Amino acid sequence: MAGLALEGPNPDVDVLDGINGLAKDAPHWVNKAMEYVGEYGIIAGLAVLCLIAWWGARRRSDAPVAIAGLVWAPLAAGIALLANIPIRAFVERPRPFKDHAGLDVLIQGKSDYSFVSDHATLTMAVGVGLFIASRKYGLIGIALALAEGFCRVYMGVHYPTDVVGGFALGTAVALLLAPLAQALLVPLMTAVGRSPVGGIAWLVRAPGGPVAQAGARRDARTGYDGEGAEGGRRAAGAPGGQDDDRTPGRQRGRARDKDLAA
């Protein structure tokens, strides 16, 4: 397929020229910074954001549900990138610098197809996945994804429509498959949070957090660990305890025994 070429005025190319034109007038150090940020920095920032969100989610009362949402974010990105492989092969759109001379290309050596942008797909899938688990972190993630899209056009390696297509693909995968992912991941994260094997429970719950305190609350309701309702009655000084001789009923019975003996 030829690759989304349009005859006559092309707004896609006009926007590309306008944004990439900023790189022509920018100092060299600014372009180097944009190169690293657009290629690696924003992706690394999203990874750190996911770790921060995970650290806080471990202390929530619904920790398994929150952690499941956070696990889905990178999984959605991976699935979206896999879905992009046949899309790129079908569209076969060349990189903009191959068809349009005069672009200031900040990263050389890009020889694969342009539509849709892998970076835009990955970052938006992570951002939307984070939004499903936490609106606060999700909004930050989506903002980073938008910045990634701007960087790809600024660097001269993608058309604006490549970026928009990546945003659409990442969003669609993260949202449409989220119910199925949650149905599978929530029970898994719940099991991990309760598991003592190999100390992996810390992945889902913080020590002394809500999940860890649930068992302690159950023990408090029953009195002693493992003794059930009978233990709870003994702990509360209830009449059901076998060793409690101070209850009023027990004391009246002992008084009647003394009267009969007299």
The 10s digit of each residue's pLDDT in 160-202 is: 999 999 999 999 999 999 999 999 999 999 888 888 876 788 8
- 34 SS3 class: helix
User: Does residue 233 surpass a pLDDT of 80?
Assistant: no
Give the residue from 170, 190, 210 where a domain finishes: 190
Does one domain contain both 150 and 250? no
* Percentage of residues in the chain having pLDDT higher than 70: 75
CA pair distance 219, 196, nearest whole angstrom: 18
User: Does residue 152 surpass a pLDDT of 70?
Assistant: yes
Tell me, yes or no, whether 157 lies in a domain. Answer: yes
The DSSP secondary-structure symbol of 66 reads H
Tell me, yes or no, whether 233 lies in a domain. Answer: yes
pLDDT at 254: 57
Helix then strand count (H, E) for the chain reads: 12, 0
> With bands split at pLDDT 50, 70 and 90, how would you rate the model's confidence at 250?
low
Tell me, yes or no, whether 30 lies in a domain. Answer: yes
- Which residues constitute the domain of residue 46? 11-190
Kindly give the interhelix angle for 135-154 and 11-25, rounded to the nearest 10 degrees.
Answer: 80
| Tokens standing for residue 183 | 């149905």
| Tokens standing for residue 95 | 């990189």
- 43 SS3 class: helix
> With bands split at pLDDT 50, 70 and 90, how would you rate the model's confidence at 102?
confident
pLDDT at 209: 60
For 76-91, give one letter per residue: b (16+ CB within 10 A) or e.
Answer: bbebbbebbeeebeeb
Of 39, 248, 3, 27, residue with least CA distance to 157:
39
- Give me the mean pLDDT over the 57-69 stretch: 89
CA pair distance 174, 73, nearest whole angstrom: 7
CA pair distance 1, 86, nearest whole angstrom: 12
* Out of 51-55, 200-204, 235-239, least confident range: 235-239
| Tally of structural domains, the chain | 2
Does one domain contain both 204 and 240? yes
**pTM exceeds 0.95 for this model:** no
